[in-house]
Chains A and B, each alone.
Chain A
Amino acid sequence: MENVIIIVLMLMMGAVGLAIARIRDLFAVSMLSGIFSLIGAAAYVVLDAVDVAFTEAAVGAGISTVLMLGTLALTTRKEKLGGGKSKSTTAFLVVAVTGAVLVYGTFDMPRYGDKIAAIHHHVVPRYIEKSGEEVGMPNIVTSVLASYRGYDTLGEVFVIFTAATGVLAILGRARRRREDEEADEGGSDTKGAAS
């Protein structure tokens, strides 16, 4: 039953992907990419990765769609048509060959849920057996993310922090200037916190 659901979801994702590739209206494309993420979130639920599904639904379907629409409001909603037929055939060939190589690569991978797969034998048995005594969290995912692999998560937090500061550095300036012109209390506070 799970396999059927996964196959149906994958077919839907494929259809949405094809539609994204064909449609030139960027508003429709951003909405479709949100739908793509939502179907992906449903697939994660089927794979028992509920926390990943949360993130995918909130970031992929929600916030990034909103940000895409914000970008469209700043730029334009029509895709610029460029390149002739030869360019698109080359691109199609490159994508097809790369995809075929990737599919060929998956033949050597262990099957989904295979218990003799390598990833289930390195540190995973230790986490499952010992995390109750060592960390004491009922949720092993949390104890792995926050305790055993605390450095990893710290790095991820820095990535998000860097993303936000990067956006502020590129786009935040125009807004700050306008706030300075308004010269209200909030504006001066903003300058103090940002500089």
Chain B
Amino acid sequence: MHRKVVLRVVSKFLIPPILLFALYVQFHGDFGPGGGFQAGVIFGSGFILYAILFGVETVKRVLPPWSTRLLLVVGVLTYGLTGVAGLILGGNYLDYNVLAHDPLHGQHYGILIVELGVGITVAASMITIFNVFAGQSGGD
């Protein structure tokens, strides 16, 4: 892998736009096509591309295994607890109207947070699954 100069240079140019595009898809999902699932998958594939070219160990220095496992849970809890917050504030489970004084703002915040939870879960699970697969053969 150390001699694939073209792939390494091109991927170094491409990975920042890939991650940026993932964030765009995440936070522009209210207006354009996309949302948490798509953003998470694109974000995860950026890291996976990096891991393929520069080794899983290099990625693990940025994202240690415990952190992706933690993010996996954080994402699911973000979604679930948004629903619980609706319950506490006097609405139904996953009812975003009560999250703010104006129901429309409540919906906006609710969808933003929930989509963030989806994105975090999807990205973390893609990276985790890849790390586990690659870790089987890697290192020996």
Q: Which residues of A does B touch, CB under 8 Å?
A: 50-51, 54-55, 58-59, 62-63, 66-67, 70-71, 73-74, 134-139, 141-143, 145-147, 150-151, 153-154, 156-158, 160-161, 163-165, 167-168, 171-172, 174-175, 178-179, 186, 189-190, 192-194
Interface class of chain B by DSSP: helix
Inter-chain contacts of A157 with B (CB < 8 A) = 75-76, 79, 117-118, 121-122
Interface size classification for chain B: 35 or more
Closest to A154 in B: B79
Closest to B29 in A: A142
Contact call B136/A171, Cβ cutoff below 8 A:
yes
> Across the A-B interface, how many residue pairs have beta carbons closer than 8 Å?
157
B34 interface neighbour in A51, A59, A154, A165, Cβ under 8 Å: A51
Mask: chain B, 58-74; 1 = CB below 8 Å from A; 0 = not: 00100011100110110
Contact call B130/A66, Cβ cutoff below 8 A:
yes
25 contacts between A and B (CB under 8 A): A54-B34, A55-B38, A58-B38, A63-B41, A66-B52, A70-B137, A134-B103, A135-B104, A138-B31, A141-B33, A141-B35, A146-B35, A157-B75, A157-B118, A158-B76, A161-B121, A163-B125, A163-B129, A164-B72, A167-B133, A168-B69, A168-B132, A175-B136, A190-B65, A192-B66
Q: How far is the CB of B59 from chain A (nearest CB, A)?
A: 12
A134 to B95, CA, bound (A): 12
A59 to B45, CA, bound (A): 8
Inter-chain contacts of A156 with B (CB < 8 A) = 37, 118
A186 to B64, CA, bound (A): 7
Report if B8 contacts A (CB, 8 A): no
Given known A146-B115, A168-B132, contact A54–B38 (CB-CB < 8 A): yes
Interface centre among B36, B65, B130, B135 (most CB of A within 10 A): B65
A141 to B42, CA, bound (A): 19
Report if B126 contacts A (CB, 8 A): yes
Apart from A58-B45, A62-B48, A190-B66: 4 A-B pairs, beta carbons within 8 A: A63-B45, A70-B136, A74-B133, A163-B129
Mask: chain B, 73-114; 1 = CB below 8 Å from A; 0 = not: 101100110010000000000101000000110011011001
Contact call A147/B107, Cβ cutoff below 8 A:
yes
Contact call A150/B136, Cβ cutoff below 8 A:
no
B66 interface neighbour in A50, A161, A193, Cβ under 8 Å: A193
Contact call B128/A167, Cβ cutoff below 8 A:
yes
Inter-chain contacts of B48 with A (CB < 8 A) = 62-63, 66
A73 to B52, CA, bound (A): 13
Inter-chain contacts of A135 with B (CB < 8 A) = 104, 107, 111
Q: How far is the CB of B18 from chain A (nearest CB, A)?
A: 10
A165 to B68, CA, bound (A): 11
Inter-chain contacts of A71 with B (CB < 8 A) = 133
A174 to B130, CA, bound (A): 15
Given known A66-B52, A137-B30, contact A150–B94 (CB-CB < 8 A): yes
Inter-chain contacts of A178 with B (CB < 8 A) = 139
Q: How far is the CB of B42 from chain A (nearest CB, A)?
A: 5
Inter-chain contacts of A51 with B (CB < 8 A) = 33-35, 37-38
A165 to B5, CA, bound (A): 36
